[in-house]
Copies of this chain bind each other. A is one copy, B any other.
Amino acid sequence: MSQQFENVSVLKQANVYFDGKCVSHTVILQDGTRKSVGVILPSALVFNTGAPEIMEIIAGKCSVKLKGETEARVYGAGESFNVPGDSSFDIEALETLHYVCHFG
């Protein structure tokens, strides 16, 4: 797993959600693809998705329950989970979570 994105654009203004429990910056690849690099502080949050997402865990640990599922699963560094579009997921950051969010 590469530790950095190269030859990208980065928006200077961040995205701040849930009173700052989630902070991300938008990254735009050369082909126009948007991703975000972010942090979720230890907390339990519910995210809604518009487009489908892949959440890639860079560091930290989280427990995730997708909408419609009954059991949560724990994900750590190097792991990813997929979220369908127009859905939601419960996420508990068990440790400060560093992630990349891939859309679409």
Q: Are A37 and B8 in contact (CB under 8 A)?
A: no
Copies in the assembly, this chain: 2
Q: Are A96 and B20 in contact (CB under 8 A)?
A: yes
Query: Which residues of B lie under 8 Å from residue A3 when comparing CB positions?
Result: 11-13
Q: Which residue of B lies closest to A15 (CB)?
A: B39
Range for the number of chain A residues in contact with chain B: 20 to 34
Q: Which residue of B lies closest to A19 (CB)?
A: B41
Interface membership of A74, Cβ < 8 A = no
Interface membership of A23, Cβ < 8 A = yes
Query: Which residues of B lie under 8 Å from residue A16 when comparing CB positions?
Result: 39, 41, 96
Query: Which residues of B lie under 8 Å from residue A28 when comparing CB positions?
Result: 4
User: How far, in Å, is A59 (CB) from chain B's closest CB?
Assistant: 6
